Amino acid sequence: MAEITPTILVSTKEEFEEKLSRVSELVERIQIDVIDGVFAENKTVDFSEISREGFEGEVDVHLMVNEPVNWIKKTVSFGADFLIGHIEKMRNQAEFVKQAKEMGLKAGLAIDLETPVEEIETFLWSNLDGVLLMAVPAGFSGQAFSKKVLKKIEKLKMIKDSLKLDFDIIVDGGVNLKNAKSCVEAGADVLAVGTAIWEAEDIKKRIGEFKSIFK
């Protein structure tokens, strides 16, 4: 069954704490979205202002930043478990993966909606713990899901199966109750969900609704 991971993309410490508290007892994994104002015209709260205290599950950090390798030490200090960096502003994919793993983190690569799967260095497939596919242009929450991502999920699933690998295929951006099933049928393992969770009056019920799709 696919895993549902709430995404937290916020600009203030207060927003972060409020959202973390709302899901901390409901899920075993969250994703923190980080934007530096360079990768996209948006900027999120700085790691120095927030804490993962009170959340015992896995923390994924999705770096939409210039040179993600320069953010590794910050994420380690924060207490991240899984670091995912976008390749579009990354000079050396192998170095990012290598350094993240040397610091004890799981490592993954992310690609934006218009970036082909083939842009990921093929020799790295066996070293990755996950690949994140954006279903919207990276940078802002609340955008509409693009069906373009489904073909990319299928292609990534073929690569994963042909090489007998076990990395997570993560889909992020615009995922909701209407398109979640098609993502999983295409091969997604993890659905990173933002607006569709946070807009719900009853978050526990909404997460249950996602899970019921895959039973």
Residue spans of the domains in the chain: they are 3-213
195, pLDDT greater than 80: yes
Mean pLDDT of 185-212: 96
Give the pLDDT confidence score for residue 62 in this predicted structure: 96
Give the pLDDT confidence score for residue 122 in this predicted structure: 94
Tokens coding 34: 């980080």
Tokens coding 16: 């972060």
Return the HEC string of the chain: CCEEEEEECCCCHHHHHHHHHHHCCCCCEEEEEEEECCCCCCECCCHHHCCCCCCCCEEEEEEECCCHHHHHHHHHHHCCCEEEEECCCCCCHHHHHHHHHHCCCEEEEEECCCCCHHHCCHHHHHHCCEEEEECCCCCCCCCCCCCHHHHHHHHHHHHHHHCCCCCEEEEECCCCCCCHHHHHHHCCCEEEECHHHHCCCCHHHHHHHHHHHCC
Strands 168-172 and 190-193: parallel
pTM of the model: 0.96
Give the pLDDT confidence score for residue 147 in this predicted structure: 96
Sequence-distant (≥ 6) Cβ neighbours of residue 177 within 8 angstroms: 196, 209, 210, 213
Mean pLDDT of the chain: 94
**pLDDT cut 70: percent of the chain above it:** 100
pLDDT tens per residue across span 93-107: 999 999 999 999 999
Q: Which of 33, 60, 112, 168 is catalytic?
A: 33
Q: Which of 60, 112, 172, 189 is catalytic?
A: 172
With b meaning 16 or more CB within 10 Å and e meaning fewer, what string describes 103-129? eebbbbbbbbbebebeebeeebbebbb
Chain-centre distance of CA 85, in angstroms?
Answer: 9
Give the pLDDT confidence score for residue 138 in this predicted structure: 84
> Are the C-beta atoms of residues 194 and 6 closer than 8 Å to each other?
yes
Burial bucket for residue 31 (CB in 10 Å: 0-12, 13-18, 19+): buried
The one-letter code for the residue type at 165 is: L
172 in catalytic set: yes
**Between these two residues, 61 and 143, which has the higher pLDDT value?**
61
8, pLDDT greater than 90: yes
**Between these two residues, 11 and 141, which has the higher pLDDT value?**
11
pLDDT tens per residue across span 28-85: 999 999 998 888 888 999 888 999 998 999 999 999 999 999 999 999 999 999 999 9
139, pLDDT greater than 80: no
Query: What is the C-alpha to C-alpha distance for residues 80 and 134, in angstroms, rounded to an integer?
Result: 21
Give the pLDDT confidence score for residue 41 in this predicted structure: 81
Give the pLDDT confidence score for residue 143 in this predicted structure: 83
> Are the C-beta atoms of residues 134 and 113 closer than 8 Å to each other?
yes
142, pLDDT greater than 80: no
The CATH architecture that domain 3-213 belongs to is: Alpha-Beta Barrel (3.20)
